[in-house]
Amino acid sequence: MKTKIADLEFEPLIRAKAIEERIKEIGSQLNADYKHCVPVFVGVLNGSFLFIADLIKQMDIPCEITFTKLSSYYGGTKSSLKIRDDIDFSVDIKGREVLIIEDIVDTGNTAHYLIEKLKTMQPASIKLCSLLLKPKALLKKIDELKYVGFEIENEFVVGYGLDYKEMGRNLKDIYKRVK
């Protein structure tokens, strides 16, 4: 069923059930991959807040979670390539195994910026987990991107935390723009 948000129309792309199942799979993989340590998860707000919450509930191993707030869309439907960095990173990640949790990797600009920033804090490792990836929009290769929920086409999506003009974050399914 189509839904309208502000001036745009959207239709379902990924159903809540499929998101839930994929998150369980990623969670199992993370439990295995990080069982030797206490990882620090760095959640990138705002878009990934539901993904972070659901993913963290799958973790059986001890872990820490902190947040940073980055944005590059400014309420529109295109990446601006300019990043606003709202929260300063204050947790000491030196020598720690870090996993960044993102909602979506589009151009890869935001992920690249955050990875380079965290590297200066000398963590033992940095990996990236993104619910969505638009492979055709990627401008740079991101070696740290080890966990991806779903690969999607180069289209604008909302729902499950992702917004259009700050709306649509509450939708349970992920929708793609049709008009």
8 A C-beta contact, residue 155 and residue 178: no
Q: Is residue 72 a contact residue for ligand 5GP (CB under 6 A)?
A: yes
Q: Residue 54 or 102: which CB sits closer to ligand 5GP?
A: 102
Q: How many CB atoms sit inside 10 A of residue 38's CB?
A: 11
Sheet arrangement for strand 64-71: 84-85, 64-71, 40-45, 97-105, 125-133, 145-151
Q: Is residue 144 a contact residue for ligand 5GP (CB under 6 A)?
A: no
Name the active-site residue from 54, 103, 106, 163.
Answer: 106
Q: Which residue has the tokens 């439990």?
A: 31
- Minimum Å gap between C-beta 156 and ligand 5GP is 4
Q: Is residue 174 a contact residue for ligand 5GP (CB under 6 A)?
A: no
Torsion angle defined by CA atoms of residues 59, 65, 67 and 72, in that order, rounded to the nearest 10 degrees: -30
Q: Residue 37 or 45: which CB sits closer to ligand 5GP?
A: 45
- x/- binding map, residues 74-113, to ligand 5GP, per CB under 6 A? -----x----------------------xxxxxxxxxx--
The verdict on whether 106 is a catalytic residue reads: yes
* 31 preceded by a cis bond (ω within 30 of 0): no
* Catalytic residue annotation: 106
Interaction site with ligand 5GP (CB under 6 A): 47, 72-73, 79, 102-111, 156-158, 162-164
